[in-house]
Structures are given as structure tokens and as C-alpha cells.
Amino acid sequence: MLIKEGKKLRTTSRGRDPKLAPNGCRHSSKLAGERESWVPRGVSSYHSFTAESGSNALVKDVDGRSYIDFAGGIGALNVGHCHPRVVEAVRRQAQQLLHMAFPVAGYCAYAKVCRRLCEAAPGSFPKKAALFNSGAEAVENAVKVARSHTRRPGIVSFDMSFHGRTYLAVGLTGKHKPYRQKFGPFPGELYRIPYPYAYRPPDGVRAEDLTRYCLGRLENLFSTSIGPDQIAAIIIEPVLGEGGFVVPPADFIPSLRRVCDKHGILLIADEVQTGFGRTGKMFAIEHSGAAPDVLVVAKSLAAGLPLSGIVGRAEVLDSVEAGGLGGTYGGNPVACAAAMAVFDILEEERLIERASRIGKKIERRFDALVRSCPTVGESRGLGAMRALELVEDRKTKEPLPESDMKAILSDCAREGLLIIRAGQHGNVLRCLVPLTIPFDQLERGLDILEAVLRDRKP
């Protein structure tokens, strides 16, 4: 095992323990060959090793190497890998009822998860929830209920957003490469406006004017492309996920809420990546004080099992006729059992408070890197959703090239840290550690990252 208590960190491959197999050694390379033969390259991975097992914040590969996991299944593992309570809930449910298909007959776990979601989501109005399989599928259904309720066609999303890879979800997504490239045409009546990104504001716009600027672009959309009375919903990530952990100004979401209320437009919060305590609140939109009409959840809802959902105003979700929502697997009983365990763990282990503590520890270390490491352009985030934007040059903010980013990721992995990137230019290191990570492992992971960034040749 590479990571050991008290073991001195190595920051170059030269000092590597010869007994430790590097990535790409016998087992991993054999599996990599299989993968290359049978899996298309569109289905890619950030890292080349082959994972074998996971336990809380550690992942082990088939060659016996361990990694501290700062990727957390891209935000699906807020309660860590294989939490014993999740595993036990899954085992029990699997013995009792593996699959039913909700369209055939209901089962307890489905309604229980919906109830927990309704109780957890912000907004003091009657709510209902429905369950699906993936984040993208839940986004699609949020749009379906919004159109069905308002009887309007238009949906507004944001540049740099990510909502998934199915056609409607990718149509909403504001990043061309690789998500949209070569896939058009996309579904109609989808519109996009800029997301307020203070580190890279549009030319001539001051950071403090970003809310006004972006809402001005929305007003412009109303006058040039589609009247507000034809818009069903605006969908927003309260903190951009794939877009690079951009946090909007404090007044942005409340202002957007007011525009929605003025025109009868629904506000949809896509909390697929930000949900379940990640930002120090159950849902990130709670930081703004605004309540969305529909909230989209997935990822950490079921600790890695495929489960997603929409939760929101009862009259919006009830606007669809019987049979218009759902699917064969949506709200599978085993995934629902895992979700019930997740809700209990979040409460009993006080993980939402813990997210704030984790966030502060990471922020302190990341802010120090901004001061000491010329490659680090900005440290940002909310709660335990934190990122570093890396640049060639701090003045020009030229993004660090893809090849350097790839090298940083693989250097981190070689030293035993699993981390992934994000951002419009792919130059943002994002941190989605399990909220259950022991603090010594968190610090060791940060040590590795710091050493890799400091050792980089300019």
C-alpha cells in the first residue's frame, strides 16, 4: 500500500519503492488492453489504473496500490465508498426485493425516499418527488414537468453548465467539447445566457456588475429570441460543477428568482453535483435563501447506486397525466434502500456540518497555494466543493494547457492521490472528497497535491 500512516511523501517517481507497482504495470495494463479492444474511446476515464475496491476515502487498484480519493465518484460518494450501513441496507433489500418496476406496483422504499426528499428540499409549500436512474434523466423530467405545468416551450440554461449526456440534457449543457461536438441537431426551444464567472468576466464588465450583466442578457433574450411568457423554466446549477466550481455572486440566484416570479417562469435547481451536504447545506441553493420550484438530485443520493429524482411543488409534478413519468428501473428498491441509509448517515454522522469543516481546511491550504504557487490563478468554492484554477500566467490568465493538466493528474495518482479536473478549459482541479474522510487522510492528500504543484517546472 502506498499510503501509510506517517510515511514520508515522495514527490518524484525516482524515489519510488520498487516493490510498489506503478500504474500501467502487469494487471492494470492487461485490463487496459481489454478496455481498448472492447470499449469505445468516447467512454473515457481521467485515470488509467483499474479500480478493485473502495473503503471510505481510499480506493485500491488491481495492482494493490491505494489512492486517497478526492474525486469521490464525481460527487456521488459524500458518505464514502462502501459505507457499512449502505452495504447492509443494500444486502437486506437485495434479499427481499431486487426489482419490482414501479409502473407494475409500488413498494415502501420508493415512497419513503420521496418523503425524505420532500422534507429535505427548501421551500415551505406542498411538495412531491419522483425517482429516476441518472442525473440526465432527472433533468429531462424536470423539463417535462415544467413544460407540462406552464404549457410553455422555452427553457433557459447557462453557458458553462453541465446537465448530462442525453439529448435534452446535452442540449441544455453549455460546454461544446466534448459534450456537444458532432452530436447536433439538439432539441428545440433551448436558450442559454452567461453564468456569472468573476475570475473571467466578459470584457469591460467588472466582477461586481456580473449579476446585472447576466440578467441584462436574459432581458435581451426576452426581446430578441423568445418572450418571457413563452419560457417554462430557467435551470441553474447553484455552483457550476463540470463548469469549474464557479460560485455566483450572492445576489444572483435571489435576483433570478425575482425575474422568474415576475414572469411565471419556474426555477429549476440542478443539484446533482452540489446536493446532499457537499457545500455545507443539504442543498447549495439554500445558501441563497431562494427556493426552486423543482430541484434535481442524483449522485450522492444513493452513495453510488443509480438513483436520481426531482422534488418540487406538488402542483407542478402533478400536472402530468398518469403514466407520463417513471420507467422500468426508476426508483429501484435496492437503490432506494441505499438512499434511506444515506439520509440516516448524513444526519447521524453530522456530515453537513463536517462539510463546512472540511471546506475550511481545504480553503486554508488552497489559499496558501495561491500565494506561493504561480500556476494557481484562483482558489474558490463553497463548503467542501473546492477548486483551484490553474494558469500559465497569472496576469493573462492563460489556462494551463491540457498536457500539463494531464501530467498533474497522473503525478498526483502516482503519489497516491486521485483527483479530477473541470472547467471550460479543463484547467480546474476539483475536490469532491467524501465528507467522511479522516482528517489525516485529507491533510495527506493536500500534501501530495501541494508537492506536485510546487515541483512543477514553470
Ligand X SMILES: Cc1ncc(COP(=O)(O)O)c(C=O)c1O
Alpha-carbon distance 38 to 411, whole Å?
A: 27
* Binding string, residues 8-47; x marks residues near ligand X by CB under 6 A: ----------------------------------------
Which one of residues 31, 74, 87, 320 is an interface residue with ligand X (CB under 6 A)? Answer: 74
Q: Closer to ligand X by CB, 169 or 376: give it.
A: 169
Q: Which of these segments, 91-99, 118-126, 134-142, 215-223, binds ligand X (CB under 6 A)?
A: 134-142
Q: Closer to ligand X by CB, 290 or 432: give it.
A: 432
Q: How far is the CB of 242 from ligand X (least distance, A)?
A: 6
Q: Closer to ligand X by CB, 28 or 134: give it.
A: 134
Encode burial over 410-444: b for 16+ CB neighbours within 10 A, e otherwise: bbbbbbbbbbbbbbbbbbbbbbbbbbbbeeebbeb
Q: Closer to ligand X by CB, 154 or 306: give it.
A: 306
> How many helices (H) and strands (E) in the chain?
13, 16
304 near ligand X, rule: CB under 6 A: no
270 near ligand X, rule: CB under 6 A: yes
Closest CA to 129 of 151, 110, 147: 110
Q: How far is the CB of 38 from ligand X (least distance, A)?
A: 22
134 near ligand X, rule: CB under 6 A: yes
Q: What number of chain residues touch ligand X (CB under 6 A)?
A: 15
**Radius of gyration in angstroms for the set of CA atoms belonging to the chain, rounded to a whole number:** 22
For Cα atoms 180, 181, 185, give the angle at the middle one, nearest 5 degrees.
65
Q: Which of these segments, 19-27, 39-47, 161-169, 340-348, binds ligand X (CB under 6 A)?
A: 161-169
Contacts of 164-170 with C-beta under 8 Å, sequence gap 24+, read 164/134, 164/135, 164/136, 164/137, 164/139, 164/140, 164/272, 165/136, 166/136, 166/137, 166/140, 168/139, 168/140, 168/143, 169/135, 169/136, 169/139, 169/140, 170/136
Backbone angles phi, psi at 255, to 5 degrees: -70, -40
Q: Closer to ligand X by CB, 73 or 416: give it.
A: 73
Grid cell 461536438 in the structure block, residue: 181
310 near ligand X, rule: CB under 6 A: no
450 near ligand X, rule: CB under 6 A: no
Answer yes or no: are the C-beta atoms of 112 and 141 closer than 8 Å. Answer: no
Which one of residues 164, 248, 277, 331 is an interface residue with ligand X (CB under 6 A)? Answer: 164
136 near ligand X, rule: CB under 6 A: yes
Output the CA–CA distances (angstroms, integers) from residue 396 to 138, 198, 391, 457, in the order listed: 39, 15, 9, 19
Q: How far is the CB of 370 from ligand X (least distance, A)?
A: 25
Q: How far is the CB of 203 from ligand X (least distance, A)?
A: 28
Closest CA to 274 of 315, 245, 309: 245
Q: Closer to ligand X by CB, 72 or 228: give it.
A: 72
Q: Which of these segments, 185-193, 234-242, 348-356, 430-438, binds ligand X (CB under 6 A)?
A: 234-242
Per the DSSP assignment, residues forming a β-bridge with 388 are 379, 429
Which one of residues 193, 272, 351, 412 is an interface residue with ligand X (CB under 6 A)? Answer: 272
Which one of residues 232, 298, 442, 451 is an interface residue with ligand X (CB under 6 A)? Answer: 298
135 near ligand X, rule: CB under 6 A: yes
Q: Closer to ligand X by CB, 228 or 331: give it.
A: 331
241 near ligand X, rule: CB under 6 A: yes
Alpha-carbon distance 120 to 116, whole Å?
A: 6
Residue nearest to ligand X (CB): 135
248 near ligand X, rule: CB under 6 A: no
Which one of residues 116, 149, 163, 365 is an interface residue with ligand X (CB under 6 A)? Answer: 163
Residue 143 neighbours by CB distance under 10 Å: 28
In 269-384, which residue ranges form alpha helices assigned H by DSSP? 314-317, 333-348, 351-372
Which one of residues 237, 378, 389, 415 is an interface residue with ligand X (CB under 6 A)? Answer: 237
Closest CA to 3 of 439, 450, 417: 417
Answer yes or no: are the C-beta atoms of 320 and 145 closer than 8 Å. Answer: yes
If you ran DSSP here, which 8-state letter would residue 202 be given? P
Site of interaction with ligand X (CB under 6 A)? 74, 134-136, 139, 162-164, 237, 241-242, 270, 272-273, 298
